[in-house]
């Protein structure tokens, strides 16, 4: 068991920045910032907050919400980001990097 830092993304539901539903829980602040895009009021950025959590064999428990372990959303976002980055490369660049 150890302590970890997680970033939680919530939708914002009004012009005052009140939070709505949780979009996801992320290990990386950069991935969380990317996930927050378009989740805010009128398509703006959603709210990203840092929380401490406990990592156990059963799962990761956010200290403010100890009821259920959370599932990280990083993996799906990283796959999407990787796919977008690879799409920008030319066939010659992919070959030079050993990706083809």
What is the tens place of the pLDDT at every residue in 13-25? Answer: 988 888 899 999 9
In this structure, is residue 53 part of a structural domain? Answer: yes
Name 7's Cβ contacts closer than 8 Å, sequence gap at least 6: 25, 26, 27, 28, 29, 31, 32, 48, 49, 50, 51
In this structure, is residue 79 part of a structural domain? Answer: no
Asked if residue 10 has pLDDT above 90, the reply is yes
In this structure, is residue 87 part of a structural domain? Answer: no
For the stretch 47-84, pLDDT in tens is 999 998 888 888 888 887 656 666 666 666 677 777 78
E strands within the chain?
A: 2-12, 19-26, 47-55, 60-62, 65-70
Query: How far is Cα 22 from Cα 49, in angstroms, rounded to an integer?
Result: 11
Mean pLDDT computed over every residue of the chain: 85
Domain that holds residue 59: 2-72
In this structure, is residue 17 part of a structural domain? Answer: yes
Structural domain count of the chain: 1
In this structure, is residue 98 part of a structural domain? Answer: no
Asked if residue 100 has pLDDT above 80, the reply is no
Please give the pLDDT value at position 5.
92
Instruction: Give the end-to-end CA distance of the chain in Å, rounded to a whole number.
Output: 41
Higher pLDDT residue, 75 or 4? Answer: 4
């Amino acid at each position: 068991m150890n302590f970890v830092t997680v970033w939680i993304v919530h939708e914002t539901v009004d012009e005052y920045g009140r939070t709505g539903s949780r979009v996801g829980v992320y290990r990386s602040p950069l991935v969380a910032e990317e996930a927050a895009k378009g989740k805010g009021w009128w398509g703006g950025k959603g709210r990203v907050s840092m929380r401490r959590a406990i990592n156990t064999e059963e799962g990761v428990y956010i200290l403010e919400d100890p009821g259920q372990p959370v599932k990280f959303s990083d993996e799906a976002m990283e796959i999407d980001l990787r796919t977008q980055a690879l799409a920008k490369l030319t066939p010659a660049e992919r070959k030079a990097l050993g990706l083809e």
